[in-house]
Amino acid sequence: MTTQHHFDVLIIGTGSAGLMNALQLSDNLSVALIAKDKILEGSSYYAQGGISAVLDEKDDFESHIADTLSTGVDLGNETAVRFMVEQAPSAIQALEKSGVVFTHKGSQYHLTTEGGHSNRRVAHVADKTGQSIQTNLLANVRNKTNITLFEGFIAIDLLTKNNQCYGAYVLNKSTNNVESFIAHKTIIATGGASKVYLYTSNPDTSTGDGIAMAYRSGGRIINMEFTQFHPTCLYHPHAKSFLISESLRGEGAKLILPTGEAFMHKYDKRGELAPRDIVARAIDSEMKTQGFDCVYLDISFKDKDWIQSHFPTIDKKCASFGIDISQDLIPVVPAAHYTCGGIQADINAHSNINSLYAIGEVAHTGVHGANRMASNSLLECIVFAKACANHINQQSLTLQHPEFDDWDASRASLSREKVMVTHLWDEVRRIMWNFVGIVRSNKRLHSAQMRLAQIQNEVDEYYRLYLISSDLIELRNLVETAQLIVKSAILRKESRGLHYNEDYPNTSHKAKDTII
Ligand code: FAD
Ligand code: SIN
């Protein structure tokens, strides 16, 4: 018989969104927090640049709102953006209350800047903002007796009936048994889907699980074509997914070609601090037209002490590869970084399925539009995690749940063809990188669509026949999410923000969401 757990609230994911959400829920609610990997593993832990908020007296909410909407190329939802921006100072306070100590210059926050911001408004903890947020939030969670942590538990599918969510089927990775988690409210906080691309800044957890699970249950998915490519990931054969923060450019670092020439001024008058879509496309274009393997970032005009106090993590990582960033150029390339689309969520983070919420990168709250402005993601995580908790705290949780079938493992045998899973994983990621990358075309999108549909059939068959494993669960989600990205990209008959199709190079006058 399938083991059943009963909780008031099930939170799937322990990134900054999931942890903050758990902390904000009333103490009288029983909360299950599950993570498919180590609790701290996820994009949040690796966040470098910081979290944006109006904290300087020369800055104001209207400017943060205008920058966010303009970076999102008019597709953002102004109500949601305004809500997020106005809540930002209290999000910073909530983090400080949990123990995060932001970098200060004297008695003031040291605020840095990044692409798209017209004022310094990025609060940070040197270049380890995510690490500090995550370790502090987790320490607070561990002190709460109403929260139970489940590490190494991967959600497979949601338990839904008649458009109502009652929890999820979850694989306990240590026993390989499927268990059901029944809850009045379910919150998806599973992060993004950048692992669908061959090259990414993201950790292995970003396989689009939440988006795929919600979609399979009838969840509305929006704007999946907008994958953000971060312009500067370290280019080195042994550096897996290492980001070189945009805040280096915020502090004056220049992008240069292997020939020594600067080039960003040719593409945008804001140069290195143009929004990410523009910088990533410029690098891609220079690399493709001139046949370069990478470009370079130069911060060598700053002295060693300054670099070590502002960017200790980046300095140390580069040094481990023999690059002294106070003297040497840093080789960089763009890589998939952030999923702007996701599960449609309203201002309370509620989806179109009753009792199902989505927070953090997995959600589409409308704040990013066609391109996310730097450091607005941690902000979205914290603001909407709090809004979601407030919404749940105000309700009385009395819903009866129907009976759900036990997980059917009767037809499943152990696979002797595991190579299929690894091969298909790799194939999906290559297709996405080569055919659905920074610059797209109708032909490449349709080729990707055809091959991904075949892969989906192969994965479905494998899923029916063999015993479930976390690799198989992730592959199933990866191919589902890849198809959602391609389908959305095909539906958009224009270029806007992060989506550039050379067959429709213009931006239409009317901005419209892609809804699936
Ligand atoms: P994550 O932190 O990715 O957490 C996802 C959680 O879900 C993990 O616990 C994972 O185990 C769990 N999970 C996933 N699937 C399942 C499943 N099926 N079952 C159970 N658990 C599951 N943004 C900024 O605003 N500022 C920055 O400076 C910044 N720097 C960044 C640097 C890097 C290198 C990266 C990769 C991203 C950066 N971002 C930054 C983006 C930002 O960090 C992320 O968008 C944000 O942290 C996402 O938080 P999250 O809580 O939604 O998801
Ligand atoms: C960075 O530090 O460059 C990442 C910031 C972000 O993704 O918001």
How many angstroms is it from 14 CA to the middle of ligand 1? 9
Q: Over pLDDT 90: what percentage of the chain?
A: 92
Model confidence at 306, in pLDDT bands (50, 70, 90)?
very high
What's the average model confidence in pLDDT over 389-415?
82
Task: Confirm or reject: Cβ of 36 under 6 Å from ligand 1.
Answer: yes
Ligand nearest to the Cα of 209, by number: 1
Look at residue 403 in the predicted model and tell me its pLDDT. 83
DSSP assignment of 229-280 equals EEEEEE--TT--S-B--THHHHTT-EEE-TTS-B-GGGT-TTGGGS-HHHHH
Whether 276 is catalytic is yes
Check residue 412 and give its pLDDT. 66
Residue 506 pLDDT greater than 80, yes or no:
yes
Looking at residue 51, its pLDDT comes to: 98
State how far the Cα of 401 lies from the Cα of 398, in Å rounded to an integer. 10
What three-state secondary structure class fits 469?
coil
**Per-residue pLDDT tens for 438-492?**
999 999 999 999 999 999 999 999 888 888 999 999 999 999 999 999 999 999 9
Ligand nearest the Cα atom of residue 43: 1
Residue 204: pLDDT above 70? yes
Q: Find the ligand nearest to 137 CA.
A: 1
Q: Are 188 and 357 in contact (CB under 8 A)?
A: yes
Checking if the pLDDT of 7 tops 80, the result is yes
Q: What is the pLDDT of residue 258?
A: 96
Q: Which ligand is nearest to the CA of 47?
A: 1
Question: CA-CA distance, 22 to 147, in Å (whole number)?
Answer: 7
pLDDT on residue 18: 98
Tell me what pLDDT residue 407 has. Answer: 84
- Residue 499 above 80 pLDDT? yes
Domains defined along the chain, listed by start? 234-335 (3.90.700.10)
Query: 437 CB under 6 A from ligand 1?
Result: no
The band of 401, judged by pLDDT with boundaries at 50, 70 and 90, is confident
pLDDT of residue 2: 84
pLDDT at residue 476 in the model:
97
Indicate if the pLDDT at residue 513 is higher than 90. Answer: yes
Residue 415 clears pLDDT 90, i.e. is over it = no
Q: How confident is the model at residue 52 (pLDDT cuts 50, 70, 90)?
A: very high
CA of 50 to the centre of ligand 2 (A): 7
Which residue in the list 120, 276, 440, 476 is annotated as catalytic? 276
Q: Which of 190, 241, 365, 373 should be mutated for ligand 1, with most atoms under 8 A from CB? A: 190
Q: Report the nearest-CA residue for atom 31 of ligand 1.
A: 47
Evaluate: CB of 200 within 6 angstroms of ligand 1. no
The pLDDT score that the predictor gives to residue 132 is: 98
Bridge partners for 180 per DSSP = 4, 169
Q: Which atom of ligand 1 is nearest to the CA of 191?
A: 53
What's the chain's average pLDDT?
95
Does residue 50's CB lie within 6 angstroms of at least one atom of ligand 1? yes
Q: How far is the CA of 324 from the centre of ligand 1 (A)?
A: 29
Q: Residue 129 has which token pair? A: 């903002």
pLDDT tens-digit profile of 142-193?
A: 999 999 999 999 999 999 999 999 999 999 999 999 999 999 999 999 999 9
Q: Is residue 245 lining ligand 2, measured as CB closer than 6 Å? A: yes
**Tens-digit pLDDT profile for residues 70-128:** 999 999 999 999 999 999 999 999 999 999 999 999 999 999 999 999 999 999 999 99
**156 touches 166 (CB < 8 A):** no
List, as one string, the DSSP characters of 185-218. Answer: EEEE-----GGGSSSBSS-TT-S-HHHHHHHHTT
Tell me: the pLDDT tens digits for 214-268?
Answer: 999 999 999 999 999 999 999 998 888 899 999 999 999 999 999 999 999 999 9
pLDDT beyond 80 at 400: no
Q: What number is the average pLDDT over the span 254-283?
A: 96
pLDDT at position 216 is 98
Give the pLDDT of residue 494: 98
Residue 1 in this model has a pLDDT that exceeds 80: no
* Any atom of ligand 1 within 6 Å of the Cβ of 17: yes
Q: Which of 130-139, 372-381, 408-417, 494-503 has the lowest mean pLDDT?
A: 408-417
Supply the pLDDT for residue 28: 96
295: left (phi over 0), alpha (psi -120 to 50) or beta: beta
Is any ligand 1 atom within 6 A of the Cβ of residue 208? no
CA 445 to chain centre: 23
CA of 215 from ligand 2 middle (Å) equals 28
Within its chain, how far is the Cα of 39 from the centroid? 16
Confidence of residue 399 (pLDDT cuts 50, 70, 90): low
Q: Is 15 in the pocket of ligand 1 (CB under 6 A)?
A: yes
Q: How far is the CA of 202 from the centre of ligand 1 (A)?
A: 8
Ligand 2 close to Cβ of residue 379 (< 6 A): no
Q: Lowest mean pLDDT: which of 68-82, 92-106, 383-397, 417-431?
A: 417-431
* Residue 55: pLDDT over 90: yes
CA of 200 to the centre of ligand 1 (A): 13
* 445 φ, ψ (degrees, to nearest 5): -65, -40
